[in-house]
Amino acid sequence: MSGVKLSQLVKRYGDLEVVKAIDLEVQPHEFVVLVGPSGCGKSTTLRMIAGLEEISGGEVTIGDRVVNRVAPKDRDVAMVFQNYALYPHLNVADNIAFGLRIRKTPKDQVQKMVAEVAEILGLTPYLDRRPADLSGGQRQRVAMGRAIVRHPLVFLFDEPLSNLDAKLRSQMRAEIKRLHKRLDVTSIYVTHDQVEAMTLADRIVVMNDGAIEQVGTPMELFLNPVNTFVAGFIGSPPMNQIRAEISGSSNAPVAKIGDQLLPLPASADVADRMGADVTVGIRPEHAEVHSLGTSPLNVELELVETLGSEALLHTKLADTPFIIKTETEEHFSTLDQVSAFSVNPHQIKVFDIDTGRVLGQAGA
Amino acid sequence: MQSESRLSKIGYHLRREWQIYVMLLPTIIWFIVFLYKPMYGLQIAFKDYSIFRGVDGSPWIGFEHFEFLFSNDQFIRAFWNTIIISGLNLLFGFPAPIILALLFNEILHATYKKTAQTIVYLPHFISSVIIAGIVITAFSPSVGIVNTVLGWFGIDSIYFLTKPEWFRPIFVGTGIWQEAGFGSIVFLAAIAGVNPSLYESAVVDGANRWQMMWKITIPSILPTILIMLIIRIGNVMEVSFELIILLYQPATYSTADVVNTFVYRQGIQSGQYDFAAAAGLFNAVVAFVLVMIANTLSKRYSRTSLW
């Protein structure tokens, strides 16, 4: 089994640098998700690993082999495409067998391998059907079958679920997760959907504007985002970010939001910025409305969005939109009377107002 | 009851989308005036037509013209010539634009590709008269380039256009030269419509360009190929009549005279309108049957059909 290593990987189109010298090491068996907004360079990075885009600078290593000049077919990777890339004129069995036939695998072996993969993916009853006669989820399974059947060193997924509806997407997400557990093949998965990233990944790579913002496990990214971009990208709804002024003392700093005061965790970085503006980040989940703790902040409730077991309270905190996520059970009837919240100071993040980088966090 | 509701449905559509129907109107009028109204005159194929008595005044004579037609050696010959020339056209002329489109698709250099395309499109825009002039000059025994080149190899000049055995190759070849480039546009458009990730996926799977052409491009444009083939088969009896008139001469009638040129000579030149109408009608019936067969077969075997 092989890992994948990107060293100072660059992609340039003319003068435009779309991937800016990124470094990343994917361990063998690992499931890594590249996530970021459209145009952040995540798909381009994946396509450079696959060999579909020329590499402008740096190196891609698969296993212990630098593959910059290796043809896609010899890299031993398999790719699953967003729009499935199934051959409309071939039935499911022939679609799955395509790569094997191109490689001149013996007939009886092809048949055996296709049957095996179809079994894994639950496609056996559909082997004679054409893609046009399949549902979206089935097509996506065929696309994965094509990748699996070749037993590649690395799986590459390019937004494979974005053409599916929400329900099917969560089903397929679970299926991909199960499949990875079963096959245990190094996988690199590109998506713009942070929920997919959170649920599938061993590690998430957040990309923005051609560069890597942060690499970490889903919970690391959720709890300790290194900057406002990651804070705003991971989590649904994303972390609330409010402009505030630091005051108080270096041992007991507080954030001045409008005319309200919010206690902050003490740190040297925060103390250094006494009197300066910062961005304060509070996760919607961390705002407590039912048993108010110390120094509650007053908010103006605008809208309650009920999601079932949870509700989103759209409020305004010092004229800035602020979202609170809370449980509905037991409290549902009082939700529309919420006027304040409190938050554990240790769950508050403080970011530099200019660079957006987190303050007072080890390794940041 | 049902027809009533259908009528009201049509009325509803007419009221709601009348602008679209107004845009359709010129085409419908064109069809009525130039294609349906003349069909009234087809009855002269079954009449002893005289221009003085008119279409309605001429007496019915049943299938007399058709009986005469099928006992007319010249017509039988013209019929077989039509079939043979069309067959050759189908065999060589139909694949030519497809091959051309596939070749263009493999050219990566943009400027080179555009230049090459323009060059092969050009002959389509040249009048048949000029095309025929070029062909006649090229094959001329005295100054023609073909005979000049043959001369370099010590081969005596051949009077190509007076030799029946050369007429069909020259005619079919001219047709390909004139139309293959332009005809390739529709196939190029079909190729452009192929999902690019099919190729990328094939590249990752290890397919080379040749395999991609056979396993992706051609199967993907097969529906277009079949539709074009059906249309082509429907036109089998319509051999490019102008070009034949321009290129043939009595010496080559034996291989060059087709039903349309036969109709032209009988009808327009000899004034036997009724007889010519019978020949033309027969031609149309054969074409109609052919296109029906082609469409049915295509629908059955490839799920692709004109209607």
pLDDT in tens, B236-261: 888 878 889 999 988 888 898 998 89
Interface pTM, i.e. ipTM: 0.79
Q: How much is the pLDDT for B2? A: 56
Provide the number of structural domains found in chain A.
2
Same-domain pairing of A277 and A151 = no
Say whether domain B72-128+175-302 belongs to CATH 3.90.1150.10. no
Q: How much is the pLDDT for A361? A: 66
Cβ neighbours for B75, distance < 8 A, ≥ 6 positions apart? B69, B259, B262, B279
Domain extent at residue A329: 233-352
- Which of A185, A202, A227 is at the close of a domain? A227
Q: What is the pLDDT of residues B82-92, one digit of tens each?
A: 999 999 999 99
Q: How confident is the model at residue A363 (pLDDT cuts 50, 70, 90)?
A: very low
The nearest alpha carbon in chain A to B202 belongs to A99
Angle B250-B251-B256 from CA coordinates, rounded to 5°: 75
Mean pLDDT of B301-307: 75
Is residue A356 predicted with pLDDT exceeding 60? Answer: yes
E strand or H helix at B237? none
Is residue A357 assigned to a domain?
A: no
Which of B194, B199, B200, B201 is the mutation pick for testing A, counting most A CBs within 10 A?
A: B201
Same-domain pairing of A88 and A67 = yes
How far CA A123 is from CA of A81, A145, B22, in Å, comes to: 18, 9, 51
Contact A246, A274 (CB under 8 A): yes
Q: How much is the pLDDT for B177? A: 94
Cβ contacts (< 8 Å) between A102 and chain B: which residues?
202, 205-207, 211, 215
H helices present in chain A, as ranges? 42-50, 92-102, 107-121, 136-148, 166-183, 194-200, 218-223, 228-233, 268-272
Beta bridge partners of A86: none
Is residue B131 predicted with pLDDT exceeding 70? Answer: yes
- Closest CA–CA distance from residue A133 to any residue of chain B (Å): 13
Looking up tokens 């599916």 gives A164
- Which of A227, A259, A279 is at the close of a domain? A227
Measured CA to CA, the distance from residue B198 to residue B192 in angstroms comes to: 12
Average pLDDT, rounded, for chain B: 89
Q: What is the pLDDT of residues B49-108, one digit of tens each?
A: 888 888 888 889 989 889 988 898 999 999 999 999 999 999 999 999 999 999 999 898
Measured CA to CA, the distance from residue A6 to residue A205 in angstroms comes to: 13
Q: How much is the pLDDT for A40? A: 92
Q: In the β-sheet with A16-26, what is the strand arrangement from edge to edge?
A: A16-26, A4-13, A57-62, A65-66
Is residue A363 assigned to a domain?
A: no
Same-domain pairing of A155 and A130 = yes
Cβ contacts (< 8 Å) between A130 and chain B: which residues?
none
Is residue A66 predicted with pLDDT exceeding 50? Answer: yes
Same-domain pairing of A73 and A43 = yes
Beta bridge partners of B229: none
Same-domain pairing of A184 and A136 = yes
A78/B contact by beta carbon, under 8 A = yes
Q: Please tell me whether the overall predicted TM-score, pTM, comes out greater than 0.80 for this model.
A: no
> Percentage of chain A surpassing pLDDT 90?
60
Q: Do B219 and A89 touch (CB under 8 A)?
A: yes
- Which of A199, A227, A255 is at the close of a domain? A227
Burial of A109 per CB tally in 10 Å (0-12, 13-18, 19+): exposed
Is residue A254 assigned to a domain?
A: yes
Other beta carbons less than 10 A from residue B156's beta carbon? 8
Dihedral angle over CA of A330, A332, A334, A336, nearest 10:
160
Q: How much is the pLDDT for B3? A: 60
Mean pLDDT of A256-267: 87
Measured CA to CA, the distance from residue A113 to residue B55 in angstroms comes to: 74
Q: What is the CA radius of gyration of chain A?
A: 24
Q: How much is the pLDDT for B232? A: 85
Same-domain pairing of A206 and A167 = yes
Q: How much is the pLDDT for A292? A: 77
Cβ contacts (< 8 Å) between A87 and chain B: which residues?
198, 215-216, 219
The nearest alpha carbon in chain B to A150 belongs to B205
Q: What is the pLDDT of residues A113-158, one digit of tens each?
A: 999 999 988 899 999 999 999 988 899 899 999 998 988 999 999 9
Selection from A96, A76, A77, A75 nearest residue A143 by Cα: A96
How far CA A311 is from CA of A283, A294, A332, in Å, comes to: 14, 23, 9
Same-domain pairing of A260 and A300 = yes
Is residue A110 assigned to a domain?
A: yes
Q: Do B201 and A102 touch (CB under 8 A)?
A: no
Measured CA to CA, the distance from residue A12 to residue A57 in angstroms comes to: 8
Q: What is the pLDDT of residues B141-196, one digit of tens each?
A: 888 899 999 999 988 888 888 899 999 999 999 999 999 999 999 999 999 999 88
Contact A268, A251 (CB under 8 A): no
Measured CA to CA, the distance from residue B90 to residue B69 in angstroms comes to: 26
Same-domain pairing of A179 and A54 = yes
Surface of A (156-185) touching B: CB under 8 A: none
CATH code of residue A184: 3.40.50.300
| SS3 at position B264 | helix
Q: How much is the pLDDT for A218? A: 95
Q: Do A72 and B203 touch (CB under 8 A)?
A: yes
User: Any idea where the domains of chain B sit in the sequence?
Assistant: 72-128+175-302
Measured CA to CA, the distance from residue B259 to residue B108 in angstroms comes to: 45
Q: How much is the pLDDT for A186? A: 94
Q: Do A85 and B222 touch (CB under 8 A)?
A: no
Is residue A361 assigned to a domain?
A: no
Cβ neighbours for B214, distance < 8 A, ≥ 6 positions apart? none
Same-domain pairing of A32 and A155 = yes
Measured CA to CA, the distance from residue B60 to residue B47 in angstroms comes to: 4
Instruction: Give the number of beta-carbon pairs within 8 Å between A and B.
Output: 59
Q: How much is the pLDDT for A364? A: 38
Q: How much is the pLDDT for B11? A: 87
Same-domain pairing of A59 and A138 = yes
Same-domain pairing of A265 and A150 = no
Same-domain pairing of A92 and A139 = yes
